[in-house]
Chain A
Amino acid sequence: MTTLASSTAFVPRPLAPFTEEGVFIRRALLHSLRNTESAVMAIMLPVMLMLLFTFVFGGAIDGSGDYVDYVVPGIILLCAGFGAAATAVSVSQDMTTGIIDRFRTMPIRASAVLTGHIVASLVRNLIATGVVIGVALLVGFRPNGGVVDWIAAIALVALYILAITSLFAAVGLAASNAEAASGYGFILLFLPYLSSAFVPVETMPAWLQWFAAHQPVTPLVETIRALLLGGDASTRWPTAVAWSVGIIVAASIWGALLFRRKAGRR
């Protein structure tokens, strides 16, 4: 009985700054480790896609064998998208199970739960990106960018991961359940296919060219390609960054509104 008369007296004092973030990032990373299947899929699928594009379609699309160099930047982004989609499911699960109610009755910023999922997604996807680049090097990817180019390219990838993850977090809040969340999330994964990631925009029908040229993935892919393979990265990076930051801001506002509605008091 003595253990219940708590060894830790009740002290109503505020938490140290960022305690919630630390706890919830740790929680989301633990969740990621437990979801081994989705983690394996998030790495396996892009790797398989890369092998598919380089060995099967590669010959038909571009006989010279340089296709692997062309396609890797697109695969990197595709990979980032796969891993981020799991965020929609995690967020939706959190909102539909009882745990969020426990957080809501505690004197904490419950919205830090979302920060946890987003940071965990960034970590997961950067690891997956590393694996994908490693496999790409094995199958003949020959980048010639310098250290600064690589840092810039990875920073862009991280920005893209953050953008798409915040979007998926908001989708997870909007969806009525986890299945719906993963269903909506899937739509976003088509964006890389309708960009210059796999084939040059010029090869597409005119109406699709317009869409492909003006959607966020194209400037990102082109900039990363230019950075890693030697090209002029200066023209498209502002568009790429503007898109990513714009998406992060819009998704955060949307997410905050949804969170207030879903986790607020009724």
Chain B
Amino acid sequence: MIEVEKLSKSFGRQEVLRGVDLTVEAGEIVGLLGPNGAGKTTLVNILSTLVLPDSGTARVAGFDVVTESDEVRRRISITGQSSAVDELLTADENLRMIGRLSGLSASSSRQRSAELLARFDLVDAARRRVASYSGGMRRRLDLALSLVVAKPVVFLDEPTTGLDTRSRRELWAAIRTLADDGAAVLLTTQYLEEADQLADRVALLDGGRVVASGTADDLKARIGDELSLPAPTLDDVFLALTGRN
């Protein structure tokens, strides 16, 4: 579903990505880890057609992100790291707007909005302007907006940042459901517990490359052997592999 090969991207003289290889299969959740500034958001932005790569190829749902961006856009949903909601509208108006833009009828949009407001615990705030929301409420709306219609490829850039524990657990369950329904999910996170619990595989981005990938248990076993640690956590893996230990 997502196939990335030798992808590179520089901003000016700064080489952010230097030949990234990555695949995500349908029904799979891949957690993309890496220190701040490693290029996780840049990679997600390239895959979601917001940013052009310099070289290499990336195909999403079988289409090239550079030359077939319209086809890619029909098949993806993205929750970016920074919020993408309309502050002057209410949550309900935001959801219905995205529903209409996704090709739903007015009545289906209204119905879908009601479902998602309930699911993301925003019913009480539904008719208030988003500008008055707390950070976590805004984040939940952002996530709901990405799920108005089901898409085969889902990008989530630090989706649970700023969410309370309950909302985080619920979102994990929701993401699991998406994958069980066959979506390919690429999610970035700084919470290694999240990657451990949720991701089928993790990929660790550092120095512009994927320096390790596999199931969390594989990586832990590998690092445990290398460093002779009895019970390594994903934190140990992260620190060992990003050279900050």
Partners in one complex: yes
Query: Using a CB–CB distance below 8 Å, which chain A residues touch chain B?
Result: 1, 3-13, 15, 19-20, 22-23, 26-27, 30-31, 34-35, 97-99, 101-108, 265-266
5 CB-based A-B contacts, threshold 8 Å: A10-B151, A11-B103, A101-B50, A105-B76, A105-B78
Is residue B110 contacting chain A, with contact meaning CB distance below 8 A? no
Give the residues in chain B near A1, CB-CB below 8 Å: 173-174, 177
Is B52 a contact partner of A4 (Cβ separation < 8 A)? no
Is residue B6 contacting chain A, with contact meaning CB distance below 8 A? no
Give the residues in chain A near B159, CB-CB below 8 Å: none
Contact with A along B75-109 (1 / 0, CB 8 A): 11010101111111100010001101111100010
A6 with B149: in contact, given A1-B173, A12-B75, A265-B50 (CB under 8 Å)?
Answer: yes
Is A107 a contact partner of B50 (Cβ separation < 8 A)? no
Q: Which of the listed residues B69, B101, B129, B152 has the most CB atoms from chain A within 10 Å of its own CB?
A: B101
Instruction: Give min CB distance, A88 to chain B, whole Å.
Output: 16
Give the residues in chain A near B100, CB-CB below 8 Å: 19, 22-23
Give the residues in chain A near B148, CB-CB below 8 Å: 6
- Whose C-beta in chain A lies nearest to the C-beta of B103? A15
Is A107 a contact partner of B174 (Cβ separation < 8 A)? no
Give the residues in chain A near B50, CB-CB below 8 Å: 101, 104-105, 265
Other-chain residue from B48, B104, B116 in contact with A105 (beta carbon distance below 8 A): B48
Q: Which of the listed residues B52, B100, B129, B181 has the most CB atoms from chain A within 10 Å of its own CB?
A: B100
Is residue B74 contacting chain A, with contact meaning CB distance below 8 A? yes
Is B147 a contact partner of A106 (Cβ separation < 8 A)? no
Other-chain residue from A20, A99, A104 in contact with B86 (beta carbon distance below 8 A): A99
A107 with B52: in contact, given A5-B150, A8-B108 (CB under 8 Å)?
Answer: no
A4 with B177: in contact, given A98-B83, A98-B85, A99-B85 (CB under 8 Å)?
Answer: yes
Is residue B119 contacting chain A, with contact meaning CB distance below 8 A? yes
- Whose C-beta in chain B lies nearest to the C-beta of A1? B177
Is A6 a contact partner of B150 (Cβ separation < 8 A)? yes
Is A12 a contact partner of B74 (Cβ separation < 8 A)? yes
Chain A at the B interface: mostly helix, strand, loop or mixed? Answer: loop
Q: For the complex, give the distance between the alpha carbons of A20 and B174 in Å.
A: 29
Contact with A along B164-191 (1 / 0, CB 8 A): 0000000001100110010000000000
Give the residues in chain B near A12, CB-CB below 8 Å: 71, 74-75
A7 with B89: in contact, given A23-B97, A98-B83, A105-B78 (CB under 8 Å)?
Answer: no
Give the residues in chain A near B103, CB-CB below 8 Å: 11, 13, 15, 19
Instruction: Give min CB distance, A153 to chain B, whole Å.
Output: 33
Additional pairs, 9, CB under 8 Å, beyond known A107-B73, A265-B51: A4-B178, A8-B150, A13-B103, A15-B101, A30-B88, A30-B89, A98-B80, A99-B85, A266-B51
Is A27 a contact partner of B86 (Cβ separation < 8 A)? yes
A3 with B115: in contact, given A23-B97, A27-B97, A30-B93 (CB under 8 Å)?
Answer: yes
Give the residues in chain B near A3, CB-CB below 8 Å: 115-116, 118-119
Is B149 a contact partner of A10 (Cβ separation < 8 A)? yes
A104 with B87: in contact, given A1-B177, A10-B152, A12-B75 (CB under 8 Å)?
Answer: no
- Whose C-beta in chain A lies nearest to the C-beta of B85? A99
Q: For the complex, give the distance between the alpha carbons of A5 and B178 in Å.
A: 7
- Whose C-beta in chain B lies nearest to the C-beta of A108? B101
Give the residues in chain B near A266, CB-CB below 8 Å: 51-52
Give the residues in chain A near B78, CB-CB below 8 Å: 102, 105
Instruction: Give min CB distance, A11 to chain B, whole Å.
Output: 7
Is B80 a contact partner of A101 (Cβ separation < 8 A)? yes
Q: Which of the listed residues B69, B85, B102, B129 has the most CB atoms from chain A within 10 Å of its own CB?
A: B102
Give the residues in chain B near A10, CB-CB below 8 Å: 75, 149-152
Q: For the complex, give the distance between the alpha carbons of A9 and B102 in Å.
A: 11
Instruction: Give min CB distance, A3 to chain B, whole Å.
Output: 4
- Whose C-beta in chain B lies nearest to the C-beta of A100? B84
Instruction: Give min CB distance, B114 to chain A, whole Å.
Output: 9
Give the residues in chain A near B161, CB-CB below 8 Å: none
Is residue B8 contacting chain A, with contact meaning CB distance below 8 A? no
Is residue B55 contacting chain A, with contact meaning CB distance below 8 A? no
Is A106 a contact partner of B52 (Cβ separation < 8 A)? no
Is B173 a contact partner of A102 (Cβ separation < 8 A)? no
Instruction: Give min CB distance, B121 to chain A, whole Å.
Output: 12
Other-chain residue from B71, B88, B147 in contact with A4 (beta carbon distance below 8 A): B147
